[in-house]
Homo-oligomer: A and B are copies of this chain.
Amino acid sequence: MPVKLSAPLASALLPVKGVELGFAQAHVRKPNRKDVLVIKLVENSRVAGVFTQNRFCAAPVILCKEFLSQKAGIRALLVNTGCANAGTGEDGLNRAKQSCHALAELLNIQPNQVLPFSTGVILEPLPVDKVIAGLPAAIENLKADNWLNAAESIMTTDIVAKGTSRQIQLGGKTVTVTGISKGSGMIHPNMATMLGYVATDAVISQPALEAMIRYAVNKSFNCITVDGDTSTNDSLILVATNQAGHAEITENSPDFITLRDALTDVAIELAQAIVRDGEGATKFMTVTVEGGKNEEECRKVAYAIAHSPLIKTAFFASDPNLGRILAAIGYAGIDDLDVNTLQLYLGDVLVAEKGGRASSYVEAQGAAIMKEPDILVRVVLNRGAHAATVWTCDFSYDYVKINADYRS
């Protein structure tokens, strides 16, 4: 079950001026579930995207990059679950294009104004006819307050729908930021089998929008891992509809940081929600590594800990078998690491220092912390001033069950 995470109330996901959302049950893979989503954007919206770095990136990812570079003015996003349309070669590209054509025709826009997204099983052909057959119903129910339905429409192995909103004041106007995300397996930095859509009615220049999405992703989706697998389909889209009526925000505006931080806040909540709903998760771990010579080496250590199946199973068992964490620090790849000068903390408790167990440490302290649903693992390297944080979850029987059964 998700770790301290429940679905948002429909009323908590605030409409964003210029955005309408509609869904359909198109039976892409399974009956009786929302599996097609259309997000319609008002004219002159600005859109930025960050995509998977997997070389086997899915057909829709290739098209998204192509269409964004053509700057035709994106007017719609089209998402299907049930099939990732990845590992599908030329045929996959053609099917993704067909879906864009079909939606463009219905909305009276150009095909390259539609960004396509798919998530689900890899290496199987997209049943594009089913997706297209679902479009009229999705268009029929386009509404501004459909964000919760939208969040539900993009779920795959997710147990809980993920979404959140913020409101801030910019130039005397109330500006809304609302986002949804999906993903619970194949989650790794440089994105994941994760889709995220964040929209704001703020008025913002394209360069400022691009700068904000890069900043937000580095602080959020690029700091999470469930299983270390980087998916073929990860996509995060940031939309600004320019409807809020304040002066345009550029990279030099005083309001730039206010908006950037609100977007980042939404992105972090959406990213953490993915980990809290990680496949089979029973614990949510924050791994913070401080005192490194640079951020890169802090991330190496944090990810070595966050990826270790031995550590993740020990957390599942609430077993303070913390030597496994020392081992991970040791193999993280810092060649000149002095293990005698670092400290390991579990929550506030000093566990190890001087190359071994801290003399003050008693196992009952570790055992008490390991029983909590939210756990902080903190490593102080004492060799510099840099830090990094990664969020992850434990590794349970259910992880194996979910992934052994996923296609069945």
Contacts and interface: CB of A to CB of B under 8 A. Distances in A.
Nearest to A330: B56
Interface in A361-408: 395-397, 399-401, 403-408
Contacts of A124: 323, 357
Contacts of A230: 327, 330-331
Interface in A290-314: 307-310, 313-314
A310 B91 contact: no
Interface string A157-198: 000000000000000000000000000011010100000000
B229 A322 contact: no
B404 A331 contact: no
Indicate the size class of the contact surface on chain A.
Answer: 35 or more
Given A327-B229, A330-B232, A331-B229, A403 B310 contact: yes
A91 B357 CA distance: 10
A110 interface: no
Given A229-B308, A403-B309, A56 B121 contact: no
A337 B53 CA distance: 12
Contacts of A340: 89
Contacts of A352: 87, 123
B407 A327 contact: no
A55 B330 CA distance: 4
Contacts of A55: 329-331, 334-335, 337, 339
A392 to B, nearest CB: 12
A54 interface: yes
A60 interface: no
Interface string A34-67: 0000000000000000000111110000000000
Contact of A395 (B89, B324, B400): B400
A68 interface: no
Contacts of A400: 313, 316, 395-397, 399-400
A214 interface: no
A397 B316 CA distance: 13
Interface in A114-167: 121-125
Contact of A328 (B125, B229, B356): B229
A56 B327 contact: yes
B87 A314 contact: no
Interface string A333-371: 011010110000000000010111100000000000000
A277 interface: no
A319 interface: yes
A311 to B, nearest CB: 8
A96 B342 CA distance: 23
Contact of A313 (B319, B326, B329, B403): B403
A341 to B, nearest CB: 11
A232 B327 contact: yes
Nearest to A321: B407
A242 interface: no
Contacts of A405: 317
**Among all A-B residue pairs, the 10 with the closest Cβ atoms:** A122-B323, A56-B330, A89-B356, A123-B323, A317-B404, A313-B403, A89-B355, A230-B331, A54-B330, A55-B330
22 contacts: A53-B331, A55-B331, A55-B337, A57-B330, A89-B340, A90-B355, A122-B324, A123-B321, A123-B322, A123-B323, A229-B308, A229-B310, A232-B327, A309-B309, A313-B399, A314-B404, A317-B403, A317-B404, A321-B407, A395-B400, A397-B397, A400-B400
Given A89-B355, A125-B357, 8 more contacts: A55-B334, A87-B356, A89-B357, A186-B324, A227-B309, A232-B330, A317-B405, A397-B401
